[in-house]
A and B are shown apart, each in its own frame.
Chain A
Amino acid sequence: MKRWMTWAWYALRAFDWPLLAILLLMAALGLIVMHSAVGGTDWRFAEQSRNFVLAFSAMWVAALIPPPLWRRLAPLIYVVGVVLLLGVELFGETSKGATRWLDLGVVRIQPSEMLKIAVPLMLAWFFHKHQGRMRLVDHLVVLALLLVPFALIVRQPDLGTALLVFATGFCVIYFAGLSFKLLVPVLVVGSVALGLIVHYEEQLCQVGTDWVVLHEYQKHRVCTLLDPSTDPLGKGFHTIQSMIAIGSGGVYGKGYMQGTQSHLDFIPERTTDFIFAVFAEEFGLYGGILLLVAYGLLILRGLVIAVCAKDQFGRLMAGALSMMFFVYVFVNIGMVTGILPVVGVPLPFLSYGGTALLTLGVACGILMSISRYRPDTSG
C-alpha cells in the first residue's frame, strides 16, 4: 500500500502544474470548438475526445521519462523515424494524392509526425554530446541530420509537416548558438525582399511581365499566393472563405454554434486546418485575442522551462519545442487569416487529428520532464 502511494506521488510529481493548467484550458477550448465545427456531437467529436485522452496519457508517460533517458533514446528514435520514412517512400499508402501512411499490419502510422519530435531530440543530443568542441565536420553532420528527413517529407509531398520539422530542427541550432551575425542579415534581407514583392505585387503579376527564371505557371502560383482573389475558385478559395468568416465575426463574434459561414459549409476543412475560422467567427476579436494570449502563455512557460533547465540538452529541447508551438500557431493562423500561403499545418489542440495531438502530447510531456528534472547530486 505504501509502495503504491509512493509510486502515485512520483507519478503526480511528474506534472509541471502551470503547463498542465494551460493545456487543460486548451483541451477544453479545443473540444468546445470541435463541437461547433462538426455541428453537434457526431463521431468526430467523440473521436477527438478520445484523442485528447490518448494525448494526455502519452504526455504523462513522456513526462515520467527523465531527460537523460530521453537523451539516450534520441539516436534510436531518430533512426527508427528515418527508416519508417524510407518505408513510406517505398511501400507507403497514398491518400488524397500524398503518400504519408505506413501500414504495419497492426496499425497505420504517419512517420512524418514522429520526426517532429525525433529531429530536435537528435540535434539536441548531438549538440549536448559535442558541447564545447564542435568541429567544422560536426556542423555538416548537423545539416545532414536536419535535411535528410526534411527532404524525405517534402517528397511525400507534405510541405506543412516538412516545414515544421525543419523549423523545429532549426530552432535547436539557433538555441545552440547560431551566430546572430549570420542570422540577422538573412532575416533583414528576407523581410525587405518580401516587403518589396508584396509592395510591387500588381506590377509583377501583370500579364505581360516576364519573370525570366520562372515558368508562366510558377508565376501564376506565386501571384495567387500574393493575391488570392486572382484565383477565387482554386488556390484562393479557402483563404477567401475563411477571411469572410473571420471578418463577419466582428468584435464580439456571432455566438457559440451561431457561425453561419462555418455551418453552411462555406469553410473548407473546417474541422482540421481551418478550424480557427470557425472559432474567430463565433467568438470574434475578443475570442481570437484570448486564444493568442493562451498560446502565448504556453510558449512563455516553455521558454521559462528552457531557461531554468539543468543541462544543455534540456535547454535546447525545451527552447525548440516551445518555438515549434509558435511556428504551428503562427503559420496556421497566418494562413487562415490570409497573410501566409496555404500549407497544411494544423492548429495545436484545436484541429481534428489523432496523430497530431499525440505528437503535441509527447512534446508537452518532454517539456514537463525537463521542468521537473533534478540531477541526482542535488537530492
Chain B
Amino acid sequence: MFEFKETTLQQKRHILIRVLAAGLFALLCGGLLGWRLWYLQVERHEGLAARADRNRTAVVPIAPRRGAILDRNGEVLARNYRDYVLEVTPAQVPDMERMLEELGGIVEITAYQRRRFQLALNQSGRYASTMLRNRLDDDEASRFAAQAFRFPGVSLKARWVREYPQGQTAAHVLGYVGRISEADMTRLEEQDQLGNYRGTNIIGKKGIEKSWEQLLHGKTGLEELEVTATGKPMRGLSRIDPEPGNDLVLSLDIGLQRVAEEQFQNRRGALVAIDPRTGEVLALVSAPSFDPNLFIDGIDTDNWRALNESPDHPLINRPLYSTYPIGSTYKPFVALAALELNKRSPTERVADPGYFELGGQRFRNAQGAVYGPTDMRRAIVVSSDTYFYSLGLDIGVNALHDFSKLFGFGQVTGIDLDGERKGILPSTDWKRRAYKKPEQQRWYAGETVSVAVGQGYNAFTLLQLAQATAVLANGGVSRRPHLLRALRDGLTGEETEMVYPPTHTVPLKPENLKVIQEAMIGVIRQGTARRAFSDAPYQAAGKTGTAQVYSLRGAKYNAQAIDERLRDHALFMAYAPAEDPRIAVALIVENAGWGATVAAPVGRAVFDYWLDRPAEQQVAVAAAPAEQGPP
C-alpha cells in the first residue's frame, strides 16, 4: 500500500519522480488558470467591447421597501418617507473646498453637516460615496438637479427613511430600526440572509421591528447597469424588482394605548390589556417612554446619555422585562388553588385578629387592620392578609407553584416581542437550584406565608399577570398573548389573518370559578376598588394590590418618611364586563403607594374607553395608506 522502505539512493530517485509528477500536476492546474484568464479577458472581453469602449456593467442591489406597521384600526404606527440626500464621491471632485463653497450657495450646508461629512470622509476611502446632506426639501432638490452638471462627483439620491408618526406612544411595542451592526451582520450571515440585505443599511433593533424583521424587510431586487468609467449609470441591462416587505396589522389600539399612557403622567409603571377571547394585546404601556425616531439615523450622544442614564430607565420594556412581587393581586389565584385542591371551603370562616402567628413571628395585615371572622369572599374583598397567610400553609408552596404555573406565572408567555423575562415562581426545587449554600437552599414555612400574599420570592412580569387575568376571565382557556393580527402583502395588498389556537386549558370547576369571580366583583362593588368604579356603566371584576419594595421589619409604614423609590408599588388586575369579558388588564404604578387609590383609577379609564365603543368597531380593520410622500 505504501512504499516507504527505501535506501538513500532509491529515495533520491523516487523524490525526483514524485517532484516531476507534482510539477506536472501544478503545470496542468496553472494551464487551467491561464485558460480561464484567456477565456475571461479575451473571449468574453471581445463580446463586451462592441457595446462600449469605456463602459462597464455593475450589479446594483435595489433595497426593498420596508413594510409599514398599523394598529388594529389601520392607523399608521411606522412608515417610510422618501428622503433626498446629496452624496459625494471625493475621487471625482476636482477641488473639494471650492465645491463645498459653491454648493453652499444652492443648498444649505450647516457647520454640523460639514463636520459630519469630514469625519465620514476620513473613515471611508476616496472612492466611496459619502453623505453630505440629508432631508433636502423639494425646492433644494430641484435647484440642485438643475445645476448638477456644475458638481461632478456630487449626486442626488433618494432613499426610504423610517418614521414613527406616533412619537413616544407605543414606542416599546414598535421598537425601532437602526444601522446594521457587526453583530447583526454575523447573525445575517448565519441565517444565509446577507445577500438579501445588500443595499439595506437598517435593521429592526427592538420591539415589533425586531421580532418580525423577516416579514417587514422584503426581498432585495437587483439591477444590472451599464456605467461609465466615472460611475455614471448609462442604461439598465436587466432588472429584478425588489419585493416590498409585508405591512403588519397589530392588535394594538392606538386610541386605547394613548388613553392608558396618559394615565401614567410622570409616573413609572407598566400596563397590559388583553382581549381574553383571542389573546390579542390591545395596549402595552411602559412608562416613561422614549421617541423611537431618535434611533433611526443613529442616536446622538446627548440623547443617548439622557435616555441611558436616566434613573427612570425609559428604554426598559417594563411589562415584560421588569419583574415584581405582585402583592394582593395574586390572591384570587391563591384562593382558586385552595378551592381546586380542596384545601379550604369557601364558606369556612377564619378568625382575623389582625395578624397571623407562626413560630413566634407575627405576620400582620396591611395598615394594622383587623377584620374579625373572615370567609373567602370577604378575605378577597377587603384583602385580608391574615386569611391568606394560613391558606398558604394549607396549600403548600409546591402545590401553589404547580397550580400557578398553569396560569403562566413565572413562565415565558411567548409574546412576539424581544427581551421577555421569565421571573420567578418559587418552589422548594427552585430554591435548591437558585442558591449554593445548603442553609440558603432550605425552604422555611415563613417563606410560604409571604408567597401566599404575592410577596417574598414571587417575581412576575406584568404581562404574566395580564395573561393570568385573561385566562381567568376566559374560564381557564389559555391563548398566547400576541401583537401581530394580520399581514398585508406589500404588492397585492392581500391580507392574511394570523391564527392563534388555544395553547391549553386549565381544568377548573365552574362552581369554584364562580366563587372567585363573585369575590372579584365584590372588590369592585364594595371592596378596595369601589371608589374608583362608582357609577361605572358596566360590571368589572378585579383585585387591587400593594407590593412592598422595602421590608419594614415590623416598623410602621410611613410614605412621607421613606425615599420615593422605596415606596410601595400600586397594582391592579381586572376584567370587564364580568358576564362576558372583552378586556383584561393588569397594571402597576411604581412607588405610588396604595393600589386602591392609584392603580384602580387607571384601570377604570382603560375600561371606560374600550367598553364605550361599539363592539364591531373594536374588531374592524380599516384599510389605510401605508406610505406618504415627502412632507
Contact = CB atoms under 8 A, between A and B. Distances in A.
B267 interface: no
B1 A179 contact: yes
B192 A323 contact: no
Contacts of A260: 54, 56, 229, 231
Given A248-B48, A323-B22, A333 B59 contact: no
Interface in B1-50: 1-7, 11-12, 14-16, 18-19, 21-23, 26-27, 29-30, 32-34, 36-38, 40-42, 44-45, 48-49
A212 interface: no
Given A233-B196, A247-B48, A38 B26 contact: no
Contact of B198 (A217, A237, A337): A237
A231 B7 CA distance: 55
B4 A299 contact: no
A272 interface: no
B189 interface: yes
Contacts of A251: 41-42, 45
Contacts of A40: 126
Contact of A231 (B45, B54, B189, B195): B195
A330 B3 CA distance: 28
Nearest to B38: A285
Q: B-side binding surface: helix, strand, loop or mixed?
A: helix
B61 interface: yes
B194 interface: yes
Contacts of B18: 174-175, 177, 319
Nearest to B231: A264
A292 B587 CA distance: 73
B29 A330 contact: yes
Given A96-B186, A243-B40, A246-B41, A139 B2 contact: yes
B128 interface: yes
B34 A289 contact: yes
Contact of B192 (A132, A178, A217, A266): A217
B56 A307 contact: no
Interface in B142-194: 182, 185-186, 189-190, 192, 194
Contacts of A175: 15, 18-19, 22
A247 B57 CA distance: 11
A45 B125 CA distance: 13
Contact of A280 (B30, B41, B42, B57): B41
Contacts of B1: 179, 182
Contact of A339 (B36, B195, B229): B36
A235 interface: yes
B127 interface: yes
B22 A337 contact: no
Contacts of B23: 299-300, 303
B16 A326 contact: no
A82 interface: no
B30 A284 contact: no
B192 to A, nearest CB: 7
Interface residues of B, number: 60
Nearest to A315: B15
Contacts of A215: none
B358 interface: no
Contacts of A244: 56-59
Interface in B221-235: 222, 227, 229, 231
A249 interface: yes
Given A231-B195, A247-B41, A337 B36 contact: yes
Nearest to A326: B26
A263 interface: yes
A143 to B, nearest CB: 12
Contacts, number: 170
Interface in B189-209: 189-190, 192, 194-196, 198
B415 interface: no
B19 A289 contact: no
A323 B23 CA distance: 9
Nearest to A309: B15
Contact of A337 (B3, B37, B190): B37
A334 interface: yes
A242 to B, nearest CB: 10
Q: Is the interface of A mostly helix, strand, loop or mixed?
A: helix
Contact of B44 (A247, A295, A312): A247
Contact of B26 (A263, A280, A299): A299
Contacts of B220: 233
Contacts of B190: 97
A307 B15 contact: yes
Contact of B222 (A39, A232, A285): A232
Contacts of A179: 1-3
B91 interface: yes
Interface in A335-358: 337-339
In this complex, the interface size class of chain A, counting residues with CB under 8 Å from chain B, is 35 or more
A193 interface: no
Contact of B19 (A38, A263, A265, A306): A306
A167 to B, nearest CB: 12
Nearest to B49: A250
B37 A265 contact: no
Nearest to A311: B8
Contacts of B48: 247-248
B22 A265 contact: no
Nearest to A178: B2
B125 A39 contact: yes
Contacts of B37: 246, 280, 285, 288-289, 292, 337
B42 A285 contact: yes
A292 B185 CA distance: 35
Contacts of A133: 5
Contact of A232 (B49, B57, B59): B59
Nearest to B187: A97
Interface in A115-170: 127, 130-134, 139
Contacts of B195: 231-235, 237
A296 interface: yes
A241 interface: yes
Contacts of B44: 247
Centre residue among B127, B182, B220 by max chain A CB count within 10 A = B127
A376 interface: no
Contact of B4 (A42, A134, A261, A280): A134
Nearest to A182: B1
A315 B44 CA distance: 43
B42 A233 contact: no
A265 B57 contact: no
A366 interface: no
Contacts of B14: 177
B59 A241 contact: yes
Nearest to B16: A307
Contacts of B59: 232-233, 237, 240-241, 244
Contacts of B22: 171, 174-175, 303, 319, 322-323
List of 10 A-B pairs having minimum Cβ-Cβ separation, nearest first: A234-B195, A233-B195, A134-B4, A97-B186, A250-B45, A285-B41, A247-B40, A288-B37, A177-B3, A337-B36
Given A131-B4, A247-B41, A337-B36, 14 more contacts: A39-B126, A96-B185, A127-B4, A131-B6, A131-B11, A175-B15, A176-B4, A182-B1, A237-B198, A248-B56, A264-B127, A285-B37, A289-B34, A300-B23
7 contacts: A177-B3, A233-B195, A233-B220, A250-B45, A285-B41, A309-B15, A330-B33
